[in-house]
């Protein structure tokens, strides 16, 4: 079956640095991928829709200049958290194709 991978699984960084998270579709092409964020003990909130070859579509309240999304190929979307701060610490999850295939998630801790 279709598999979505994420890298890294865990990342710890200092406040003010940028962190890049990769989302890959391993055995299918994904023209659209989705990025979600989940804070502890909360639900998943959609951040943005990543579109191959075009700009991402951001949900209301999500800063596009802070969360940079690049979908340069049909199998890879990247989310870069720029100038990360402790409040950005969260679990970031991507999904692709009919949104039933989710990556394993990336846990970000900003010190």
Per CB under 8 A, 28 contacts another protein: no
| Other CB atoms within 10 A of residue 68 CB | 16
Per CB under 8 A, 104 contacts another protein: yes
Per CB under 8 A, 99 contacts another protein: yes
Cβ atoms of residues 76 and 51 within 8 Å: no
Per CB under 8 A, 27 contacts another protein: no
Which residue in 34, 37, 81, 108 binds another protein (CB under 8 A)?
34
Choose the stretch contacting another protein; rule: CB under 8 A; options: 12-20, 39-47, 65-73, 76-84.
Answer: 39-47
Choose the stretch contacting another protein; rule: CB under 8 A; options: 16-24, 38-46, 61-69, 71-79.
Answer: 38-46
């Amino acid at each position: 079956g279709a598999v979505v991978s994420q890298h890294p699984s865990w990342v710890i960084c200092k406040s003010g640095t940028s962190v890049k998270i990769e989302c890959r579709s391993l055995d299918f092409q994904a023209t659209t991928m989705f990025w979600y964020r989940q804070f502890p003990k909360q639900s998943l909130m959609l951040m943005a829709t990543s579109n191959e070859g075009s700009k991402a579509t951001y949900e209301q309240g999500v800063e596009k200049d802070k969360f940079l999304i690049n979908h340069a190929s049909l199998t890879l979307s990247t989310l870069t958290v720029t100038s990360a701060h402790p409040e950005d610490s969260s679990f970031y999850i991507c999904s692709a194709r009919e949104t039933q295939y989710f990556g394993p998630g990336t846990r970000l801790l900003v010190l």
